[in-house]
Structure 1
């Protein structure tokens, strides 16, 4: 199969690309840096610039499916200008792909888009599977709604659309986990707020495999791309400390302090959401790392 990937050099993109190449698929990838364009066996780079509406149309040559991972990181401080960057990086890129595919009808059969669990509201009691219709009307929740609406355009071209609502990705090579590890390693680790808030997560290996599973089985619709066992902030902190062989003796950091440090982005640490991957499990996907303890024992060495 020939697959076009955006965000191929990002955290998930690298893992997924390596997996697809191992399985002998041909990868076309889009990059905004001409210096990152490579051409080697089964791996070919193409330039695009969504802000300027530019794309090398050769990227679509013979492509059967598109995996769209591109989007600015939510881990930077949410200034007004950066909020706009978060929106544009997702919508402009998706729209550019849509208009290109529209000019080449009946070729691409599957469009798989990254999405986020931020679409679900904060709740102390709800359990969210893919049938949940509640929407969080925060900035991030509304961003995910717009992101998914832009992906759904591909349905108009009779293309199957899958939306991967992803939790925190645990990886030793980037993302949130190394940042969680740093203070604990320095004997300065602590939980946030009450520590009872549930956090959804997924091992980097499992998220790549779940994308591939979705591709292989031509799955469409919403998929909660999270491990089946969410973990409280306090338990996650303790679990990391256990694998690092570090004590925890500092009090939890208050919400007010983190708001001063991170601004609006602090909500990522305090939201309480119990999200389960019902569709992935029902469709037969098997997680290699269903628990945080298993994931951390693999990643912290």
Structure 2
């Protein structure tokens, strides 16, 4: 029974331990600093999205509800924490460095509660009703790359209350990231890991088959290299494999299999985890 539990645990751990997957020269940086916030009040003037009059500087993650006093009279009711919902606006100005030229630039929101709408330099990017899942927008077609300011606006509407069985908060309550990629890039959430383990002559043998979706943003042609590196719990490289593939379509699939000799099993006493990095070269 103990061996069976360890077998299942290793499969689950290997399946979900892909900590960082990135293509060569991909870069992700925190985008939490330098945001302005305005809490909308229908009894006051219209929202000033030009000069940002009466906006306040905030640090993300940010929840505007917690800055209010508790009251059982709010539409959220005590069941949702007795704090108000409402409508809030966020804004940020930023300039792109020269190194971002010819790069694809994305903004990743880990979570906004809720009904968020996003604009970049006046261009509407979309609406996300759900408040708990992450999402991404491609900023590339609308960015100013001449050293002048870019402006991003986010509207958050949590005014329809009550709408939950617990306290939800309101605003950009999780991290925000700015991510740059090359034209040939690993698709977001585009890596699938399939682990296997066998016992032979009293020794454990493991293998990890990785399927990687490669996006070809500019319809380039050529031969590329996909390299996978596996690290153990001590961040020591324990295995690697690289495979060449021909880039033909807008989306390509590259598969590699890595052998692991005597993989370290997970247990409460020894919570061994593996980490994989994937590169496109």
TM-score by length of 2: 0.27
Larger Rg over CA atoms: 2
Structure scoring higher RCO (CA < 8 A, sep ≥ 6) equals 2
Greater share of strand residues, 1 or 2? 2
TM-score by length of 1: 0.26
